[in-house]
Every structure is written in C-alpha cells, then in structure tokens.
C-alpha cells in the first residue's frame, strides 16, 4: 500500500511539463498564432467534431488559418473509435499531410483524445495542439499526455502517452455548453478537490450553479488544471501518484461502458461523479474516510447529477467490466482510495463481495 499526502498551494498562469505548455488565453487569436509560430510546419489541419465545427470553429476565423484543412468527425464518445480514427488518418493522407504537418484539435475530450492519438501515430507522429472547448477537456482530457480511443466496449482501451505541443485553454468556449456538459467537467474538478486539500474541496462544494460566477469559475479551472499538472509532472506515466487521478474512475468507467451497451450513453463526468460515490464509500469502509465529508459529497452529487438507476441483475456485468479496467494488475482490481481529503492511497484491491457491497450502497443512495 502506498499512502501519499498531497496538499497544493500555488497559483501561476502558465506551466510546462514534459515540454507541454498550458496557456490560459485571454486572446485566442494572438496566443494561437504564437504557438503555431513556435511549431514549424508545412501544412496545417484542424480537427473538429460535428458540434465544434458548428459552434466553435467560427471563433477561429483568423486570417492565418484560412488555408487550414478541416477534418470533421461525428460527435459523441460513442464515436471515439477505430472508424473515426481511420477517418482522420484518411483525411490527413488525402490532403497531403507529412511528418512536418501540424494538427489542431478543437473540441472536447473525445476530439483531443482521438486527435492526439491520430497525430501520434500518423507517419509515426506529427505535432498537435489541443484547444479544449468543454470544461471536461479543459481540466482533464486535453492535458496530461494521454491519448486514445475506446475499443471492444471499453473506455480508452487503445492509446499512447504523448504530450501536445501546447494546450490553449480559452474559457469563452464554455458559453457554447449546456448545463449538463458544464457539470460533466465539474465532476473532474470535484475529484481534484478531493485528492488535493479541504479548502479547495469546500470551495468547489459551495459554488453556486444556479447563479454561476464565471470569473470565480475560471479561477477554479486554473487551479484544477494546476493540480493535475503538478501530479503529472511528478509521474508522467502513471507509476505512482498519477494513479490518484483515477479516483472515481474504476467504477465510473464501468457505469459508462454499461450505459453504452444499453444504448443510453451517459456523460463521462456524470459516470465519474457516480463512481466517486462508490469509491468514497469504499474509502469509508476500508480507510475511515470521514463520514461527514462522505455525506456532504454524496449530497452534492445527488443534487447536481441526479440518479443513475442500476439493478442487482446488472451487478455481474458491472463487475465483469471492472475486471477489464486497464488499471488492474496481476488479475487484481485496483482502486485509488482516500483516508481523508488529500490523503491518497493507491493500489488498493477489492474482492467481488466488496464491489457488490459498493453497488448495494450506491443503489440505496440513489
């Protein structure tokens, strides 16, 4: 068992980890131009999905992008698959991309994950820039160097670690999102609060989603990104502390895969929020996570994310999905748990009976 206490107290605008700058942009036109100039290329391409092509690409109507090749794939995590990946490879090939070309991924986590993987593998690797347009992508998917696609019904089963040339976070894109997609990203921020410190967790718990303060949200986003980048800087390939970022995801990914099998897909952040209910309860069972903080967090999640009904007849399938999680080692199901906020215990294992207990608790809470 490895225990790590992880408290953060820092605030800065631009950090670099593994040659990946994270730029919080106030002028997208100027900042993107600077990053493109620092990445010599012969041809420029922009990857969008159907939604970001409609709502976000118009915000990139800059003269220096007028000759960029536009590649558009279907929207939604259900399309983060081999078919879409091949579509991107084909488009790059047909439009004459070379090893010196540059791909800009404009979209949410599906686009940045798949686009990063496409760039990392086309002609053995071309440069790419991520411009996340969803809150989820800003605080999680677009940063940290993970790329990939879903495969055989499993989340992010195929992929590589490869950092973008740059990630440009431009929060005005959030105004193109509905409330559900904002909350989906906020779940990852809540996870960052739970694995960092009590004051940040409390600040996130008290944010008013009925009348959101956008300036305050931007500050929370920047802090959340710094939490993730600090962890990734210490452990870029997930051998130790980076496993803290998996909190809520072992069961969350199983819920997400189950929803796709049922043709009722749920947003990733919602799956993680519901997964955190289970994994916080497991933390309470095994490591005495404080009951009051458990109850407060569950209440926040129920209030903002609603219900995800599961039936005991689905338990065996959920368990089977959990056994396929790529975080497992030596045939053992692997969790990250907390003994308190910011007190992280990685490499925690669970039996099938314990997982059934978690699912029973979740069903009762819902």
Whether residue 263 sits in one domain with residue 143: no
Per the structure, how many domains does the chain have? 2
Percentage of the chain modeled with pLDDT above 90: 80
The pairing of beta strand 44-49 with beta strand 102-107: parallel
- Report how far apart, in Å, the C-alpha atoms of 176 and of each of 22, 261, 293 are: 22, 29, 33
Radius of gyration of the chain (CA): 20
Domain that holds residue 36: 14-176
pLDDT tens-place string over residues 42-60: 999 999 999 999 999 999 9
Last residue of a domain, one of 155, 176, 197: 176
Whether residue 200 sits in one domain with residue 319: yes
What is the Cα 62 distance to its own chain's centre?
Answer: 28
Whether residue 249 sits in one domain with residue 117: no
Whether residue 129 sits in one domain with residue 82: yes
**Residue 1 contacts residue 347 (beta carbons within 8 Å):** yes
Q: What is the CATH number of the domain that holds 42?
A: 3.40.50.1970
Whether residue 95 sits in one domain with residue 184: no
**Residue 169 contacts residue 24 (beta carbons within 8 Å):** yes
Residue 21 has a pLDDT of 85
d(CA 278, CA 292) in angstroms, rounded, equals: 15
pLDDT tens-place string over residues 99-146: 999 999 999 999 999 999 999 999 999 999 999 999 999 998 777 888
Whether residue 105 sits in one domain with residue 84: yes
Q: What is the CATH number of the domain that holds 253?
A: 1.20.1090.10
pLDDT tens-place string over residues 308-352: 999 999 999 999 999 988 788 878 899 999 999 999 999 999 999
């Amino acid at each position: 068992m490895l225990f790590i206490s992880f408290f953060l107290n820092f605030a800065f605008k631009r950090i670099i980890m593994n040659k990946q700058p994270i730029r919080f942009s106030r002028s997208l036109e100027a900042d993107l131009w600077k990053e493109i100039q620092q990445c010599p290329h012969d041809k420029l391409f922009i990857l969008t999905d159907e939604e970001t092509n409609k709502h976000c690409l118009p915000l990139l109507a800059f003269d220096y992008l007028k000759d960029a090749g536009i590649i558009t794939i279907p929207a939604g995590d259900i399309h983060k698959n081999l078919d879409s990946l091949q579509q991107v490879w084909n488009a790059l090939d047909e439009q004459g991309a070379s090893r010196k070309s540059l791909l800009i991924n404009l979209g949410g986590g599906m686009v940045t994950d798949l686009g990063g993987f496409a760039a990392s593998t086309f002609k053995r690797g071309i440069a790419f820039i991520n411009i996340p347009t969803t809150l989820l992508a800003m605080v999680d998917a677009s940063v940290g160097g993970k790329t990939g696609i879903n495969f055989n019904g499993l989340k992010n089963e195929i992929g590589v670690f490869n950092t973008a040339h740059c990630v440009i976070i431009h929060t005005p894109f959030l105004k193109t999102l509905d409330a559900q997609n904002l909350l989906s990203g906020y779940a990852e921020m809540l996870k960052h609060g739970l694995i960092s410190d009590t004051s940040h967790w409390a600040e996130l718990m008290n944010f008013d989603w009925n009348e959101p303060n956008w300036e305050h949200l931007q500050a929370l986003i920047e802090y959340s990104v710094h939490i993730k980048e600090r962890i990734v800087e210490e452990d870029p390939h997930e051998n130790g502390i980076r496993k803290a970022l998996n909190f809520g995801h072992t069961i969350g990914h199983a819920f997400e895969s189950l929803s796709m099998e049922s043709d009722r897909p749920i947003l990733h952040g919602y799956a993680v929020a519901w997964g955190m209910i289970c994994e916080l309860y497991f933390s309470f069972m095994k490591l005495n996570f404080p009951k009051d903080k458990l109850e407060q967090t569950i209440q926040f999640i129920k209030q903002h994310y609603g219900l995800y009904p599961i039936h005991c007849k689905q338990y065996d399938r959920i368990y089977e999905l959990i056994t396929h999680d790529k975080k497992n080692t030596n045939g053992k199901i692997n969790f990250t748990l907390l003994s308190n906020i910011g007190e992280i215990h990685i490499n925690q294992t669970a039996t099938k009976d314990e997982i059934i207990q978690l699912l029973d608790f979740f069903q009762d809470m819902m």
